[in-house]
Amino acid sequence: MTQPYKELAIQGLWKNNPGLVQLLGLCPLLAVTNTVTNALGLGVATLLVLLGSNLVVSAVRNWVPNEIRIPIFVMIIATFVTAIQLLMNAFTYQLYLALGIFIPLIVTNCAIIGRAEAFASKNPLIPSAIDAVMMGLGFAFVLLVLGAMRELLGQGTLFDGAEALLGEWATVLRIEVFSLDHYFLLALLPPGAFIGMGLLIAGKNAIDQRQQQRQQTEKAEITRARVTGTIA
């Protein structure tokens, strides 16, 4: 992978992660991450919409008048969301019911319009596609981690109801880590999502800080012992 593409990957997956750093698309992020299956479903849907919209926006970027670019972007995004919604209705009906209003609401996910505006409308086709995939993966990754955390704490399982997304064979994926007599409702309810999200962001910042400290100590070793003149 060449340098700019690598940079795009780092930006999307970690440094500028739409979920953890930009805090975009928080509404679906917090609302549907009560199980891994829901999180995965919405993550994949968002990724596909993001890929489609970034590709089209990038392809038409030279013909879109600057003044009305936002409505045009929203229409492009809405087209893809409608397509995804119909596909989910046809092939993963249970998941379609479980996610409900949050599928059409992908249109309003700021992460998608944000990428269209900030990246795809200024860059050629292939970087836009890679940016979309990386950003989408970063978003889906946060959804998955949060979903796993909440499902594990809330009902002690993982991949509960995965057959709704992946088909009948997926019932074997269901892992019962420990059995609870009483669901820990807080983890399944929205307040649990907020607390979990806060902990994830804190964790990411802690990792970044530790890395920064390590880099600083490495840099400190290189500095000269005697400095004459001004330091640039």
Partner 1 sequence: MSFRIASSPHQHSQKTTSQLMLWVAGAALPAIAVQSYLFGYGVLIQLMLAISTAWACEALILAMRQKTILPRLRDHSALVTGLLLAVSIPPYAPWWLIIIGTAFAIIMVKQLYGGLGFNIFNPAMAAYVLLLIAFPVQMTQWLPPTTLQTYDLSLLDAVCAVFTQYSCQGYSIQQLQMGIDGMTMATPLDTARTDLTMGLTLPESFEKPIFSQGAGSGWLWLNVAWLLGGLVLIQQRVIQWRIPLSVLGSLALCSLIAWSINPDIHLSPIFQLFSGASMLAAFFIATDPVSASTTLKGRIYYGILIGVLVFCIRTYGGYPDAFAFAVLLANMAVPLIDYYTRPRTYGHKVKKGLL
Binding site for partner 1 (CB under 8 A): 182, 184-187, 189, 191, 195
Q: CB-based burial of residue 178 (10 Å sphere; 0-12 exposed, 13-18 middle, 19+ buried)?
A: exposed
Closest separation between CB of residue 201 and partner 1, Å?
13
Q: Which is nearer to partner 1, 146 or 187 (CB)?
A: 187
Residues near 19 by Cβ (< 8 Å), separated by ≥ 6?
A: 25, 29, 111, 138, 139, 141, 142, 143
**Residue 7 in contact with residue 97, Cβ under 8 Å?**
no
Closest separation between CB of residue 42 and partner 1, Å?
24
Closest separation between CB of residue 33 and partner 1, Å?
17
Which stretches within 156-223 are classed as H helix? 163-166, 185-188, 190-222
Q: Which is nearer to partner 1, 3 or 179 (CB)?
A: 179
Closest separation between CB of residue 214 and partner 1, Å?
18
| φ/ψ (deg, to 5) at 32 | -105, 10
Closest separation between CB of residue 209 and partner 1, Å?
15
Q: Which is nearer to partner 1, 8 or 146 (CB)?
A: 146
Closest separation between CB of residue 186 and partner 1, Å?
4
What DSSP element (H or E) covers 14?
Answer: none
| φ/ψ (deg, to 5) at 158 | -135, 145
User: What are 106's two structure tokens?
Assistant: 């992908």
Distance (Å, rounded) from C-alpha 33 to C-alpha 54?
25
Of residues 117, 129, 118, 125, the one with CA closest to residue 50: 129
Q: Which is nearer to partner 1, 5 or 184 (CB)?
A: 184
Closest separation between CB of residue 99 and partner 1, Å?
24
Which stretches within the chain are classed as H helix? 3-10, 26-31, 36-59, 69-91, 93-99, 110-115, 125-155, 163-166, 185-188, 190-222
User: What are 77's two structure tokens?
Assistant: 């995004």
Q: Which is nearer to partner 1, 111 or 152 (CB)?
A: 152
Q: Which is nearer to partner 1, 86 or 206 (CB)?
A: 206
Q: Which is nearer to partner 1, 93 or 183 (CB)?
A: 183
